[in-house]
Structure 1
């Protein structure tokens, strides 16, 4: 009878171990799910360098449009910069600017790249990759949202007489630079020539104006942006971000809808 008692004892011990492991795995699974659901405190500034004259760019434009829709309630800020160096191929991108090409070259210096290219995405000024690489973009956004911001930024934008006045407040940003982008949320273009000739291209989050504001002595202030032709408050917004101009790192970001200023006496 003794061997039977030993067998029962061992069997009981094994069952306890299995049950304990099962509860542990269940708890870990629940904790994992809770971790995924917990919103992060960070942000992701996604800068897409694109062009209507580049045949490889439409897939990247479509990708950021999907991300913009899916992540609209998260601290994800998409900025599409249309560069001008593809205009020589026979189609002038109406949204392109030499200023945006210079910004991309600035990133080439910060990130130690040998050249610039399109489509290119830079996230939080630190990580770059081909703009149509969805996996890299999703991972970079997730990492940004999970990070702890090094600074804070709040914005309030008002429209009046063709000018957008932006009140800003930052913390932890002295000796850095505040960049303010006036963004057109959506547009379409019928392409008449070049690599995308004959196509109708859709764009989102188009940067129409970009201006910088040094944060040397004060972290609170007001900036005025001259609105371009076609501006209207409903389809536009202001995105601001604080950048370390020594290495390109983005320390804080925020956005604001553009409110219409009510004239006195009305």
Structure 2
């Protein structure tokens, strides 16, 4: 991918025939992110291959709906496999007239961190990052599927086990990470499985947009702590969310383990 062709000012361009919306890194304001037995879930970790697929998207970007649909397709086609898809809604297109209710500056900061790790000139939507080490235009199905297949065929550096207990609108999470842990952090992503929006302004005005696997909260925790407590938004019922955890190298961004707690 030739990043010299992307203008540093905000705007939509075509990369390999696919439309994306790009933004100069200088234009982004970056902020650092900060019961009973029947409710217990245990997912045992192993060191087999996996794929964490992160989509960076926005309801304010006209190029994003095809990528949102592809994410839903990937989730469906990989059911039962160690493939974990998550959508991070960024906030830098909110100024175009429509504020994405799922967007946060923290997710923009996470995308910008990837641009630093990968030495990219811009951040853009839609963008997909696979296992923290490779990135693609978010609607480029062929390349993304190829990256997922390659990731599944590789061994994992770590193994992650998640156990949860739901009580009074909160989930008490216990976790265990095996394998080398130096310079790594565990992220716990609270994910809303489905949602839709009637967009009333901006580039997608008049469209009803559907989303899957929307990250509502991303909590970094120390691996050594072994447990954490996460609040569940009141509007989410027990069947409407899930928790996905992943271990990430703080030096280069690589994802070394992932697991799901349903």
- 1:252 matched to 2:237? The reply is no
Matching residue within 67, 88, 97 for 1:90: 97
| CA offset digits 1:164-211 (Å, max 9, x no partner) | 211111101423100000000111111010000100000000000101
Deviation at 1:248, TM superposition (A): 0.2
Residue in structure 2 matched with residue 146 of structure 1 by the alignment: 153
Contact 2:169 2:234 in 1 (8 A): no
Q: Distance in 1 between matches of 2:118 and 2:209?
A: 30
Structure showing the higher strand proportion among its residues = 2
Q: Distance in 2 between matches of 1:237 and 1:244?
A: 23
SS of the residue 2:226 aligns to: strand
Greater Rg over alpha carbons, structure: 1
| CA offset digits 1:66-110 (Å, max 9, x no partner) | 010010111000010000011000001010011100000000011
Contact 1:41 1:147 in 2 (8 A): yes
Count of paired positions: 215
SS of the residue 2:163 aligns to: strand
Matching residue within 107, 114, 136 for 1:129: 136
Q: TM-score, normalised by structure 2?
A: 0.80
Contact 1:83 1:101 in 2 (8 A): yes
Contact 1:183 1:206 in 2 (8 A): yes
SS of the residue 1:188 aligns to: strand
| CA offset digits 1:22-64 (Å, max 9, x no partner) | xxxxxxxxxxxxxxxxxx9300000000000000000000001
What is the alpha-carbon root mean square deviation over aligned residues? Answer: 1.2
Please list every run of at least 4 consecutive aligned residues from structure 1 whose deviation after the TM superposition is greater than 2 angstroms. Answer: none
Residue in structure 2 matched with residue 178 of structure 1 by the alignment: 186
Residue in structure 2 matched with residue 118 of structure 1 by the alignment: 125
Contact 1:173 1:242 in 2 (8 A): no
Residue in structure 2 matched with residue 212 of structure 1 by the alignment: 220
| CA offset digits 1:203-255 (Å, max 9, x no partner) | 0000001010122xx3x611111222412211110000000010000000000
Structure showing the higher helix proportion among its residues = 1
Structure number with greater CO (CA < 8 Å, separation at least 6) is 2
Residue in structure 2 matched with residue 200 of structure 1 by the alignment: 208
Q: TM-score, normalised by structure 1?
A: 0.79
Q: Distance in 1 between matches of 2:56 and 2:67?
A: 9
1:99-110 aligned within 5 A: 99-110=106-117
Unaligned ranges ≥5, structure 2: 1-46
Residue in structure 2 matched with residue 166 of structure 1 by the alignment: 173
Q: Distance in 1 between matches of 2:228 and 2:77?
A: 31
